[in-house]
Structure 1
């Protein structure tokens, strides 16, 4: 499956990622989960910015595996995706025009459903992993 591109500048992606992770660090449930795994916040933000530029702009600068990272973390629970998405949606709304925020939110929710599915069901077969 592929997603239609929507108009957004790489700088807007970087702004959203930085603002989102500032919110994550202050979040009572998400902050401690991320703090266990992320020691280099600027480096993490660069990596996640590359993820979103790949997902939205079709740039090929991301080489990670989000499903494996979330499954292997050991402390990510399915209910946390609700908090993640709520914070992400609030960040999008605060930093982007409404139509861009809505389109990016739809993509984030679809990816979140796939990650939640992988964490809940422990999907191990690549053919079973929902495509983003």
Structure 2
């Protein structure tokens, strides 16, 4: 018997949020250049990326098994990604959720995104070469 969704969403809603979010990302002056550098501005590449991220969220929220990948490795392997960029990423994501979903559902997905974002940020921070004593959080 399949697990119930973690958040009451449909795959179509997840896809709409992802599509809207990445349209905003491409226009953003803080994180847009990092994405455009990694993915280019080719529409087909963006569609593939958005489909993969939709699969990621469908896995995390709906317990689908359509995603395979390692977000930690990907994010920590891109030197242009700075820890402070996760704040902007989450702000844009929260704004997108608020515009696309009812408040309670947006808040639930936001909480999940913030947990994942903290983990990814920590992974990026751990891969920054340190000089001096370690930074403890």
- TM-score by length of structure 1 reads 0.88
Q: Which 4+ runs in 1 deviate beyond 2 A?
A: none
| 1:23-62 deviation per Cα after TM superposition (whole angstroms, max 9, x unaligned) | 0000001110001111410000000000000000110010
Instruction: Calculate the aligned-residue CA RMSD, in Å.
Output: 1.2
Once residues 77 and 126 of structure 2 are traced to their aligned partners in structure 1, the CA distance between those partners, rounded to angstroms, is 13
- TM-score by length of structure 2 reads 0.85
Match of 2:34 in 1: 33
What are the ranges of 5 or more consecutive residues in structure 1 without an aligned counterpart?
A: 124-132
| 1:70-127 deviation per Cα after TM superposition (whole angstroms, max 9, x unaligned) | 011111000000000000000000000111100000000000000000000139xxxx
Pairs aligned (count): 120
Match of 2:6 in 1: 5
Q: State the secondary structure of the residue aligned to 2:58.
A: helix
1:64, CA displacement in angstroms? Answer: 1.0
